[in-house]
Amino acid sequence: MIACPERRAGNLSVLLDAYQSVGIQTAVHLYTGNPQASAIDPALLNSTDALLVLGDGCFAPGTVLQGPFVSDATGRRLPGAWFPLKDEARLERFASTIRQVHNRGRQKPGLAMLSQWHPRYLQLSDRVETILKGQIQTFRWTSDVIGRNDVVQALGSGLGMGLYVGHGRPLGWVGYYGMRAHHFDSFSGSPMGCVLSLCCRTASRRRNGLSYTEALPTMGISAASFGAIRETRHTDNTRWIVRICESLLQGADNLADLLLDAAPSNPESIQYYRIVGDPLVPLYTDLISLERAESVKTYA
């Protein structure tokens, strides 16, 4: 289901056409007032797989959504995502990204492992590689083996998923000597399926017009992103990462199934994270994108 402000309904056709073109049926809920997922009647969600809330860009992920999931009238959890309507160009770019990512062949899963240059996070990257070794193709693009400009190009390979660990801020990642949205201004690669930032505050609007987590889908860098609105604990993020790996090994092939399956049992690990963009984005990718990723040069 897509929830959209009634006065912006005229802009919705480009997104509906994109979803229809990739075989996804969408119901539309038009609302008045402020965008708040909690204000939507849970009964309207009974027959849907995910909720995407569109709203004016002056609203932030932390005010629109109470977490990465919403519940229908039966108590069933489903992913709830946000997309800020800053201008028509960003919505058209988002719709184009959805078409590109969903229309790719899904031959193999591919994951970009991203991290800050710090022993704690490099060790966690090692752990991810060990868990996935031989089953999920993992490209290690941690900041000890690749620079910022090169990783921007690498992320344009078109992989299904990127996973970042390290410190984060509303402006972006601390890793790579500071990764910001403006570093993608000249981005011309293929969009990723989703980018998951398991770190602090990349979905926060504090002293920032648009959070880093919001910038990635609105700029066409990825179809979806996942980030926190405030500080998170390393132990909680580690639980997320290990469970994400386990879910991938069990065959999760889209973001909705991945997050529902991988979410830790303790609410504190979940409550500060938000989804921005397409909650149903596929995680698998095509062989051409994997070949591009294999050609990325690193210092290793």
Asked if 2-100 and 106-294 have one fold, the answer is yes
What's the rounded Cα separation, in Å, for the pair 218 and 93?
Answer: 7
What's the rounded Cα separation, in Å, for the pair 88 and 157?
Answer: 26
Specify the pLDDT at position 105.
Answer: 79
Specify the pLDDT at position 106.
Answer: 74
Residues forming a β-bridge with 115: 165
Specify the fold of 2-100: Rossmann fold (3.40.50)
Tens place of pLDDT per residue across the chain (300 aa): 999 999 999 889 999 999 999 999 999 999 999 999 888 999 999 999 999 999 999 999 999 999 999 999 999 999 999 999 988 999 999 999 999 999 987 778 899 999 999 999 999 999 999 999 999 999 999 999 999 999 999 999 999 999 999 999 999 999 999 999 999 999 999 999 999 999 999 999 988 889 999 999 999 999 999 999 999 999 999 999 999 999 999 999 999 999 999 999 999 999 999 999 999 999 988 999 999 999 999 997
Spell out the CATH class of 106-294.
alpha beta
- Whether the Cβ atoms of residue 261 and residue 250 lie closer than 8 Å to each other: yes
Show the tokens assigned to 39.
């204000």
Residue boundaries of the structural domains of the chain = 2-100, 106-294
Q: How far is residue 254 from each of residues 18, 34, 146, 177, 231, measured CA to CA in Å?
A: 17, 29, 28, 31, 26
